[in-house]
Amino acid sequence: MIRIFRIPVLLLAVAACQRANAEPGGTASLPRGELRGLAGRIVFVSERDSQPEIYSVRPDGRGLRRLTDAASADYPAAPVPGGNALLAVSVTDEGEQQIERMVMLGYDGSATSIGPVSARVRSPSWSPDGRWVVFESDTASFRDLYRMRRDGGGLQRLTQNPEGNFEPSVSPDGQSIAFVSSRDGDAEVYVMRADGTGTRRITAFHRDDWAPRWSPDGKRIAFLSDREGADRVFTVGADGLDLQRLDTTAPDSALAEAEPAWSPDGTRLALTVRRRGGTARVAVQDLRTGKRTIVSGADEVASMPAWSPDGRHLVYVADRQGDPDLRIVRADGTAASTVVRSPGPDWLPRWIP
């Protein structure tokens, strides 16, 4: 089975909840001083301007800036290590064809198109030093992986398989790339050297495995799999050994998991969980104890968690009345506050140092 990967979109066809005056589920509000003390900025997609555009905001909601202003739909894809630029995917309709390109956005307002322009150019992942990036594209095939320098030069094709290669993820040391390939009949996770040599198959099952994410120490890879009848998070050693389901209880086909995100110290995973017929919630699982904590409110549809640089907070998308906003919550779920609220969906947050 060939799995087609798409730019993430927030599914809005969900039952809306009445907006309450209190914080979700009775959760306390984050103190203003705590919010103002949070480092970095949050970049996200907003549709307040009728089409997806990229905005930046401080964690306390101040300093809102629009970073894109073009006749295209723009999505934040991969912040450049070092925090001085953001690689975005820009999508335009040209005649009857959709065209995608990568754009380097400077936080000073500059924007430069780099790399190939094609129907599919997506899923960029940076080397730790920010000198090169790997991405998937249909430039010369159904879908293969390419590497190029930050300035757009030195384009190198890393894979050549007619079945497709997707979702590259560069290891923390920059020596390896995890990715998904359908070369053996269904989507599996593979690892190769950063120059495209030495490919090793990491997972082997007759159902799909996808969305690989390296742990911060590079020793394990988290990924999604439907091998038990529902999408669930698994982890595996970088050598392909010691496969583990994140939820160590019995298999449960009524529970779906998505969007795993490693904490900066690698001791926890944030994810989205939803029981069949229920509402999507954001959870944090401690990998040392196995304890899972729901951190989003009971009166909201929650998704797309992203960690703060220090691992003490998360930003996520909260839909409480059919109009998604951005909320910040403590990683233990004890307090949360809405930091971005506007007419029109706000989603796909990335928290950059």
193: nearest Cα among 249, 130, 255, 127: 127
Dump the DSSP string for 73-122.
EEEEEEEPTTSSEEEEEEEEEETTEEEEEEEEEETTS-EEEEEEEES-EE
Per-residue model confidence as pLDDT tens digits over 93-106: 988 889 999 999 99
pLDDT greater than 70 at residue 9: no
User: What pairs with residue 307 in β-bridges?
Assistant: 314
| Three-state secondary-structure class, residue 212 | strand
Mean residue pLDDT across the chain = 91
Q: Do residues 61 and 48 lie in contact, with contact meaning Cβ atoms separated by under 8 Å? A: no
The rounded distance, in Å, linking the Cα atoms of 176 and 307 is 23
Per-residue model confidence as pLDDT tens digits over 301-352: 999 999 999 999 999 999 988 899 999 999 999 999 999 999 999 999 999 9
At 248, the pLDDT band (50, 70, 90 cuts) reads: confident
User: What pairs with residue 57 in β-bridges?
Assistant: 42
The rounded distance, in Å, linking the Cα atoms of 315 and 29 is 14
The pLDDT assigned to 3 comes to 44
Q: Which residues contact 108 (CB under 8 A, 6 or more apart)?
A: none
How do the domains of the chain map onto residue ranges? Answer: 19-59+267-353
151 burial type by CB count under 10 A (0-12 exposed, 13-18 middle, 19+ buried): exposed
Q: Which of 10-24, 67-81, 100-114, 224-238 has the lowest mean pLDDT?
A: 10-24
Strands 220-225 and 281-286: unpaired
| Three-state secondary-structure class, residue 34 | helix
Does pTM top 0.85 for this prediction? yes
Phi first, then psi: what are they for 35, rounded to 5°?
-65, -45
Which tokens in the block code for residue 350?
A: 């990335």
Dihedral sign for Cα atoms in the order 64, 67, 71, 74: negative
The pLDDT assigned to 8 comes to 42
Q: Which CATH number is 19-59+267-353 given?
A: 2.120.10.30
